[in-house]
Homo-oligomer: A and B are copies of this chain.
Amino acid sequence: MQYMEKQLKVSKEIQSLIAERLPGHSLDAPFYLSPEIFELDIREIFSKHWIHVAVEPDIPEPGDYVTVEVGLNSIVVVRDDDMSVRAYHNVCRHRGARLCSEHKGSVGNLVCPYHQWTYNLTGELIHADHMGEKFDRSKHGLKPVHVENLAGLIFICLAEQPPQDFAVMRDAMAPYLLPHGLQDCKIAKQVDLIEEGNWKLTMENNRECYHCATNHPELTASLFEFGFGYQSAPGNAEQIAEFDRLAAQRCAEWEQGGLPSAEIERLDELVTGFRTQRLPLDRAGESQTLDGKVASGKLLGQFERADLGGLSFWTQPNSWHHFMSDHIVSFSVLPLSAERTLVRTKWLVHKDAREGIDYQLDNLTAVWNATNDQDKRLVELSQQGARSTAYQPGPYSPFTEGLVEKFCTWYVGRLSAGLSANLKSGSATTIAIAVEN
């Protein structure tokens, strides 16, 4: 009941902020600053939605695990002996010690370092010393976490009843993603970047390319900024028309070759919101590299040609991915506190590609390492601004920030839905106490 009460307690001030959000504008400052809203984000967004946290190549063999932090929760994602991917709260059922303190590893069983309670890979407590005759091991298994695996992208959901519409995303996306053979990839490089800003500023930054032209010289070497919506003007109308022609032509080609490429945009109408599109690339047109050529000579899947553009896949609330013919870049955003966010980037190549021969690590990672650093600075400048009493929500560009608006609409909608669901499920008395405070 304690827990229920805590679940329901949201201050009036925050309820108003949610109710009164001005459409088409950046969020009110407390959404970027308030520890109370941060807790709400963890509870309503990150604990009730499908969160991207890993890829299959993180855990190729039975017993391989990765741990991931979602707020103050630690989750261990592990491959069991039947090759299924499973996830558990990384918390011992005895006195609560963290089970796995490394980011990655490989185990036979999950053994608590404190008093050696031992859990098998399906989460059962199989050994606990000195607990006496009356102790029921079956009541002290690891707390499971839901897992979905979409073409090698691993998503978890901490809720007891996860959103049902993951299936919608899976059905739509599998045909786009599977040809890239993520399951047969290896992680060439992972970089964890900490941004001193709220996770939503990281996401907003990801959802527009209004800032690309002046901030991302490396990225825009291959990426057309026009792919993200632009206002025609005497200065660029011709370029935009040219881009549209190119995109339509390449899309038709790819689809004919069996690669779905058309845009699907369901960012704010689904609980498990997402968007995808395969877009042409500039220069050599093959990959998101400095010269636009493939970074890895060993192509993915069954691909025989390299000029497949970039298939982008964005998910609410915390990931995006670029699938090319030769490599995949996969991003997940993990909030650490109201003003701190982890951006985890993985570069994947075919598992048979040889470093130094088939690919050079520097070349593979050059574009997105530079881009991430640039975005980190922009996110941090936004965070600093949001702290000022002079900050007020500003207008999004109707041309280039439509997807930012969709992120905010989805976010505010999911908070509202979560709060009213809580109100319904709690008893009237409890609510009265809760909303009062």
In angstroms, how far is the closest chain B Cβ from the Cβ of A94? 5
In angstroms, how far is the closest chain B Cβ from the Cβ of A70? 10
Q: Name A389-403 residues within 8 Å CB distance of B.
A: 389-392, 394-400
Give the complex CA separation of A135 and B158 in angstroms. Answer: 42
Give the complex CA separation of A214 and B130 in angstroms. Answer: 14
Query: How many interface residues does chain A have, given as a range?
Result: 35 or more
Complex contact A89–B132 (CB within 8 A): no
Q: Which chain B residues border A26 with CB–CB below 8 Å?
A: 95-96
In angstroms, how far is the closest chain B Cβ from the Cβ of A370? 16
B28, B388, B398: the one within 8 Å of A89 (CB): B388
Q: Does A91 contact B (CB under 8 A)?
A: yes
Q: Which chain B residues border A5 with CB–CB below 8 Å?
A: 13
B72, B130, B389, B398: the one within 8 Å of A387 (CB): B72
Q: Which chain B residues border A59 with CB–CB below 8 Å?
A: none
Q: Does A368 contact B (CB under 8 A)?
A: no
Complex contact A397–B132 (CB within 8 A): yes
Residues A47 and B389 in contact in the complex (CB < 8 Å), given A2-B17, A394-B94: yes
Q: Which chain B residues border A73 with CB–CB below 8 Å?
A: 387-390
Complex contact A382–B132 (CB within 8 A): no
In angstroms, how far is the closest chain B Cβ from the Cβ of A217? 14
Complex contact A97–B388 (CB within 8 A): no
Q: Does A230 contact B (CB under 8 A)?
A: yes
Q: Does A204 contact B (CB under 8 A)?
A: yes
Give the complex CA separation of A140 and B395 in angstroms. Answer: 10
In the complex, what residue of chain B is closest to A132 when comparing beta carbons? B398
Complex contact A391–B132 (CB within 8 A): no
Binds B, one of A111-119, A255-263, A273-281: A111-119
In the complex, what residue of chain B is closest to A213 when comparing beta carbons? B116
- Report 7 cross-chain contacts, Cβ distance below 8 Å, ordered by A residue: A73-B389, A92-B394, A96-B388, A97-B381, A114-B215, A114-B381, A135-B395
New A-B contacts (4) at CB < 8 Å, excluding given A95-B204, A130-B399, A131-B231: A2-B17, A89-B388, A114-B381, A129-B397
